[in-house]
Each structure stands twice: as C-alpha cells, then as structure tokens.
Amino acid sequence: MKSTILSYAAFLLVLIFATQSIPPTTGAKDFVYDVTGEKVLNDAPYSIGPVIWAKGGGIKLTDTKNNKKICPSYVVQDPAEVNKGGKFLFTLISDNEKHEKYLQTSHILGIDSGRPKNGSCEKWTFWQISDPEAKPPSSLVTTGGTIDDGPTCFQVVDYPKPTSSKVHSYMLQHCPYYCGGTPPVRCYNVSLYQDKGTRHLSVSRGTPFEFVFQKAK
C-alpha cells in the first residue's frame, strides 16, 4: 500500500514538472526583422520602404511644398524607386524597454528623424501626427515632435496579409493614448495619402502602408 502511495506521489511530481515545462512560447518576444532577416535594433538608423520597390522609393522628409519652404517637414514617400529615402531611428520609449537591444512588434516607440536638435526649423525631431481624427494636413505625419508624447506615439505591427512570404513586412500605427494622449483608446493605421502628386504618410482610410526595414549604412 505504501509503495502505491509513493509511486502515486512520484507520478504527481512528474506531472507537475511536465506541466511546468510546457509553455516556453508564452512570453517569447516578437522581434522586428529587416529585409536580410536580421533583428531590427532599437534606436539605430534604418530606411523604410515598400516591399516591392517598383511601387515607389523609400520614406524621406520633405521641406518644400509647391516650391515653398515648409516647417516642420512632412514625412513622404520618394517617387523614385531607386531612392532609399532617409534614415530614421525607431526608439522604444517605456522606461523598462528603453535599453532593449531589439525592437518588438506592438511596443510603443518614437521615430526620430535624427536631425540636429533645435535646428533652424524645428526644436524636436520626432515624427508626429497632430490630430489623427482630423482631415489633412492635421492627420499627416510631420517631424517636430518630442519623445513620449501623445502625437509622437507609434507602434510597428506585422502586416496582416504580407505581399511576400520571403521578407518580414510591417505597418505603422499611431496610438496617441498610449503615451499620455487623450482618449479614445485606440490606434490608427498609417497609410499613404496622395496630395497634388506627393505621397504623404498619414492616418487615412486607405490600405495601411506596408513596409520593410533596411539597415542604414
């Protein structure tokens, strides 16, 4: 009888160990990958552009509109596919994530255009959307924002139906509430908005802009 109890206890122990070792996947990090399959670094310079570059070039800043100087700059897609666009730093902003080595999907970040701070045009250099629920130009992405502020609060998420199974592609969401913005508690898809031949990044109803990361040299 005693041995039966003992073996039952042993069986229970095995069961406990077995169930405890089951979930290695929960808590795994969803890293962001560049076109070469490398993990995208936190706070390091990258270009972003479409999966199929025939659809236009990379994302860049423009400081002219209708030949007039504008300030701060708009964030737009270069019309020429040969152009990789500007270099931007995707920077995790939560206190406990600031020093992470790699970016993760669905984690709040700011996007720094990396220009000299307090330049002639703008005091701050983070991408921002002043009002995602308003019509353009208020819903267009510009620079000039400060980090960890509602208007500069974004996240990178996996593109739901990727164009290519060979590369990781993503879309950008604007989530003002997550960085101390005001409700509503929701995120807004960022897509391309065409205005007089210029393709702006913007919160608009169109298909979300699908892009890939390319490490800048």
Shortest distance (Å) from residue 160 CB to ligand NAG: 5
Closest CA to 101 of 25, 27, 38, 40: 40
Count of residues of this chain found to bind ligand NAG when the rule CB under 6 A is applied: 6
- Torsion of the alpha carbons at 208, 151, 130 and 64, rounded to the nearest 10: -80
Residue 118 CB, nearest approach to ligand NAG (Å): 4
* Alpha-carbon torsion angle 61, 85, 108, 199, nearest 10: 60
Which position among 15, 117, 134, 185 is part of the footprint of ligand NAG (CB under 6 A)?
Answer: 117
Q: Which is nearer to ligand NAG, 84 or 168 (CB)?
A: 168
CA–CA separation, 128 and 110 (whole Å): 9
Furthest CA-CA distance within the chain: 93
Q: Which is nearer to ligand NAG, 78 or 132 (CB)?
A: 132
Report the alpha-carbon distance of residue 89 to residue 85 in Å, rounded: 13
Asked if 116 touches ligand NAG (CB under 6 A), the answer is: no
- Taking CB under 6 A as the criterion, the residue among 62, 130, 189, 198 binding ligand NAG is 189
Distance CA 185, CA 195 (A): 29
Q: Does 64 bind ligand NAG (CB under 6 A)?
A: no
In this structure, what DSSP letter does residue 184 have?
P
Give whole-number Cα distances, 74 to 137, 160, 177, 212, in Å.
Answer: 10, 26, 22, 20
Minimum distance, C-beta of residue 146 to ligand NAG, in the bound complex (Å): 9
Q: Does 118 bind ligand NAG (CB under 6 A)?
A: yes
Decide if residue 208 touches ligand NAG (CB under 6 A): yes
Q: How far is the CB of 177 from ligand NAG (least distance, A)?
A: 13
Is 123 near ligand NAG (CB under 6 A)? yes
Name which of residues 71 to 100 contact ligand NAG (CB under 6 A).
none
In angstroms, the Cα distances linking 25 to 40, 129, 138 are 21, 35, 41
Of the pair 38, 133, the CB lying nearest ligand NAG is at 133
Q: Name which of residues 144 to 183 contact ligand NAG (CB under 6 A).
A: 160
Comparing CB distances to ligand NAG, the nearer of 84 and 139 is 139
Q: How many other CB atoms are there within 10 angstroms of residue 168's CB atom?
A: 20
Site residues, ligand NAG (CB under 6 A): 117-118, 123, 160, 189, 208
